[in-house]
Structure 1
Amino acid sequence: MNMLDCIVIGGGPSGLSASLTLGRARRNIALFDDGTNRNKVTHESHGFITRDGIKPQAFKEIGLKELENYPSISYFNTTITEIIKDTSNESYIVTTKDGQQFSTEKIILATGIQEMFSIQNVRNYYGKSLFSCPYCDGWELRDKPLVVMADKEERALHMAKLIYNWSKDLVVVTNGLELSNEGVQELQKCNIKIKSEPIKNLIGEDGYLQKIEFVTGETITRSGGFVIPSFYRPNQFAEILGCEIQDNGAVVTDGVGRTTQKNIYIAGETETSGPSSLIISAADGNRAAVSVNTDLTMERFGLQA
Structure 2
Amino acid sequence: MQDVIIIGGGAAGLNAALVLGRTRRAVTVIDAGQPRNAPAAGAHGFITRDGVAPLELTRLGRADLEPYDVNIVEGRVLRAEKLDGEFRITLNDGSTHSGKRLLVTTGVVDELPDIPGLAEHWGKDVAHCPFCHGWEIRDQNIGVIGSGSFAVHQALLFRQWSPNITLFINSAPQPTELELQQLAARGIPVVTGAVTAVHSKDDAVTHLELEDGSRHSVQALTVQSRVLVRAEFLAGLGLVPVSTPFGESIESDEMGQTSVAGVWAAGNVTNMSATVLASAQAGAMAAVSINMDLMAGELEVAMAALPQ
Question: TM-score of the superposition, structure 2-length normalised?
Answer: 0.92
Q: What are the equivalent positions in structure 2 for 1:212-251 lying under 5 Å apart?
A: 212-243=208-239, 246-248=242-244, 249-251=248-250
**Count of aligned pairs:** 298
Q: Identify the residue that residue 81 of structure 1 maps to in structure 2.
A: 78
Alignment of 1:116-127 (within 5 A): 116-120=111-115, 121-127=117-123
Helix, strand or coil: the match of 1:21?
helix
Deviation, structure 1 residue 171: 0.3
Offset at residue 270 of structure 1 (A): 0.8
Give RMSD over aligned pairs: 1.6
Where structure 2 has 5 or more consecutive residues not aligned to the other structure, the ranges are: 304-308
| CA positional deviation for 1:216 | 1.2
| Alignment partner, residue 45 of structure 2 | 47
1:269 alignment partner in structure 2 = 268
* 1:60 corresponds to 2:55: no
Query: Which residue identity is paired with 1:68?
Result: E
Does the C-alpha gap of structure 1 residues 202 and 245 become closer, same or farther in structure 2, counting only changes over 3 Å? closer
Give the direction of change, closer, same or farther, for the CA distance of 1:234–1:49 in structure 2 (3 Å limit): same
User: Which 10-residue stretch deviates more, 239-248 or 189-198?
Assistant: 239-248
Q: 1:277 to 1:206 in 2, by over 3 A?
A: farther
Q: Which amino acid aligns with 2:125?
A: S
Deviation of 1:285 after TM superposition, in Å, equals 0.3
The 1-side partners of 2:234 and 2:146 are apart by: 29
Percent identity between the aligned chains?
28
The answer as to whether partners of 1:212 and 1:220 remain within 8 angstroms in 2 is yes
Report the residue type matching 2:77 in the other structure. Answer: I
Mean CA deviation greater in 179-188 or 262-271:
179-188
Paired position in structure 2 for 1:133: 129
Moved more, 10-19 or 111-120: 111-120
Distance between the aligned counterparts of 1:303 and 1:35, measured in 2? 38
Query: Displacement, 1:79?
Result: 0.7
Name the CA distance, whole Å, in 1 between partners of 2:228 and 2:55. 22
Q: Deviations over 1:20-64 (max 9, x none)?
A: 111111111100001111100000110000000110011010001
What secondary structure, in the 3-state scheme, does the structure 1 residue paired with 2:14 have? helix
Amino acid at match of 2:293: D
Distance in 2 (CA, whole Å) between partners of 1:31 and 1:232 is 22
Corresponding residue for residue 289 of structure 2: 291
Matched ranges for 1:106-255 at <5 A:
106-120=101-115, 121-152=117-148, 154-177=149-172, 178-243=174-239, 246-248=242-244, 249-255=248-254
CA contact (8 A) 1:213 1:220 kept: yes
State the distance in 1 between where 2:132 and 2:251 align.
27
Q: Take 2:300 and 2:150, find their aligned partners in 1: how far apart are those partners?
A: 52
Contact kept, 8 Å, 1:126 with 1:207, in 2: the verdict is: no
- For 2:243 and 2:198, the matched residues in 1 are separated by 34
For residues 145 and 48 of structure 1, the distance between their equivalents in structure 2, rounded to whole angstroms, comes to 27
TM superposition shift of 1:95: 0.7
Q: Which amino acid aligns with 1:117?
A: L
Taking the aligned partners of 2:298 and 2:225, their CA distance within structure 1 comes to 45
Pairing partner for 1:100 from 91, 95, 98: 95
1:147 and 1:226 in contact (8 A); partners too = yes
Contact 1:244 1:259 in 2 (8 A): no
C-alpha displacement of 1:206? 4.5
SS in 2 for 1:35: coil
Rounded to whole Å, the distance in 1 between the matches of 2:2 and 2:186 is: 58
Q: TM-score, normalised by structure 1?
A: 0.93
Q: Does 1:10 align with 2:11?
A: no
